[in-house]
Structure 1
Amino acid sequence: MAQHPLCFVVMPFGIKPDGRGGTVDFDAVYADLLAPAIREAELDPLRADQELVGGIIHKPMYERLILSDYAIADLTTANANVFYELGVRHAVRPYSTVLVNADINRPPFDLAPDRAVRYKLDRSGRPADPAADKAPIVKSLEAARDALTDSPVFQLIGDLSRPEIDRLKTDVFRERAEYSVATKQRLANARAQGADSLRDEERRLGRFEDVEAGVLVDLLLSYRAARAWDDMTRLVESVPEPIRRTLMVREQYGFALNRAGRSSEAERVVQELIASHGPSSETYGLLGRVYKDRWDKERAGSVLKARGHLDKAIGAYLRGFEADWRDAYPGVNAVTLMEIREPGGKDQRALVPVVAYANRRRIDSGAPDYWDHATRLELAVVGGDREEAMAGAMAALAAVREPWEPGSTANNLSLIREARAIGGVVVDWTDEIERELVAAASDPTAAARP
């Protein structure tokens, strides 16, 4: 089969705020609208992994951005990375770049003269009518085949020399792009086999300096799915410095250190992240988990020391929730630990409705993940609502991505049950939920799920 020209897609990843109180599901925009349009225009879609490496653009990213025959840039939400990459593309490619934008806003002034193809979003932030909106994108890509100039740089500076793109270099780039896709597929297959298979794939990669950053991060998260904490820490300590220093990788490093029993090192890493990047729900959530694990370890020994760790854990989770009220995960952890410290206390009663509201907003957004459903479950158990807890449990079990996730929730339910039992309250209807969560945590196939 003949190869089609590559079309590189420059856009945010995941679900992002739209600036109006809603969200945009960029993964759905790519999968349901842009990729099908590119294929209909007889091009091969290629998407970067910039979200996985904290926005740092490495050599493979530049190669894809500059050497792809065609490119689409999604200007929705005026994402800084997208505009930077579009600027690079316009500076070296006189033509074959198509702009798109959702109908929720207009492109900034500097790009107003350029025609951006508009597409519609529904209330959940997904393409509202991809069949209809696909046609003008296909038409624009087809027109780009004959365009002489669509870059404002080359339009405004008519005598600017046009760079020569070495075809041999482009062919090497294509092979590398296909290699990355194949490697990621092998990693997905290896996750189902466990840590040993992932180590085999790691050895196949060779020198980390020659490996695309997205592949290395994919390997890191694959080790996390396999609960190979020591492999995670070893990998982070071995990858090139620009990748190792990104926020996301450092967060995963702290997570793995704590899971590997290296609590003091984990605390140091997370505290450094808070000092350098400011408070966030993720970093304070990690710090809360460090203190929570210390409390769990000490509670069979020193009562006072254990209580100190418990108070620090609650404080860290509260700061994480205060850093981003939209993320209910650190909030529900604070609620759960308050249940242990003082069931039904004043602070807990004040916090529960706020966390419940944030959780409901996330679920109603149309793109909840495992932790959103697990939060719903834990809040229902704290509130003694059996029907709501069962609904949350069913949704959570259907959304499991990695086996450690239901294991963490089962542990929290166990802690709530123990605290209630000390107070003479028996909540036996949670036993079935705990058993299901424990079974899901023992399911090795969960590591292979996307």
Structure 2
Amino acid sequence: MEFSQYRTDALLTITNRPPLVFVEGEGMWLTDHQGKRYLDYLQGWAVNCLGHSPQCIQDALAAQAKKLINPSPAFYNEPMVSLASALTAASCYDRVFFANSGAEANESAIKLARKWGQKNPNANGESRHEIITFDHSFHGRTLATMSASGKPGWDKIFAPQVSGFHKADLNDIASVEKFIGDRTVAVMLEPVQGEGGVIPATREFMQALRELTSKRNLLLIVDEVQSGMGRCGELFAYQLSGIEPDIMTLGKGIGGGVPLSAMLCKEAFACFEPGDQGGTYNGNPLMTAVGGAVLAALQAPGFLSSVREKGQYLRSELLKLTERFGLAGERGEGLLRALKLGRPIGPQIVELARDMGPVGLLLNSPRPDLLRFMPALNVSKDEIDQMIAMLAEVLETIAAAEAKQ
């Protein structure tokens, strides 16, 4: 089928999409409407933690769809209860609220922090609602989560923003301290800034942040929508720093490709009252059954150690490319990694890699001078080698073109 036969003009334009339609996916591979295959290093922006259409998700969907899809969040259902129990058993948290997207989970964390700030006022008896976030952070696309984000330009798109968010500098504890006032209730951060360019918070900074927030009676919220669910080599990225935050949000990988997210908190901060929070589809058994299957796969013996091993292997191969082509280095945690290009050729690489034949390569450039890699956590070393070889071919093409100029 030709692309022109698809009525893409019926879709609202929200991003610039290339003229191709994906029709099938398996593991690390996607196939488009003309049968061309693509090695996929986006995986839905770190969503498909087990790759495209893994068998465990197919099985969970088929089995649960025959039993119960949505009884309403006004009632308990078996997969909801089971997944909540498994998540609390695997983490430092006691309570779980399920939602459908990372933004929704982060919105819930913001609401919970503000509710807690009402119940724990400052010395003047005033409720606390201000939250310190970080420059270049990304927390979602609702009005509140966009306001919490430090993505450049987002303060003007749908102005005015939701007030109450101050932007500190990642890995600079002094910049956090200067924003703490009598209305401050929490500090919220990504353990690894994904959209900001795969910038990890250091272990020392995370520990200093935990000490500071505890001392000042502030909540510490970790947004693990992208960095959680095994992506960084531990089940949760906060575990890399040996601390226990008060609230955590999950998304993307928790559903392995289906709409599922979660906000987790410790018992001391579980202050929502009936009616404070909800959602028509939240915690529905179809999605939470998938979440249970995904979590079981990530907790299988040896799985997370393999993520760490392949993360180091990807790192070493990216460093080889850095040396070969005179690039600026790499950074990241586990299988959330970035190649620093040193110059703004990221969009050019993305386009050339996608259009190369007979097999394409799907890459992401969140900043013009950087590529981000988010493969399935069960990616093979052969698939890493294949990506590196394809990327090297693209870099050679660019270098040859630049030499002629």
Same fold? TM cut 0.5: no
The higher-RCO structure (CA 8 Å, 6+ apart) is: 2
If you compute each CA radius of gyration, which structure gives the higher value, 1 or 2? 1
Query: What is the TM-score normalised by the length of structure 2?
Result: 0.28
Structure with the bigger percentage of helix: 1
TM-score (norm 1): 0.26
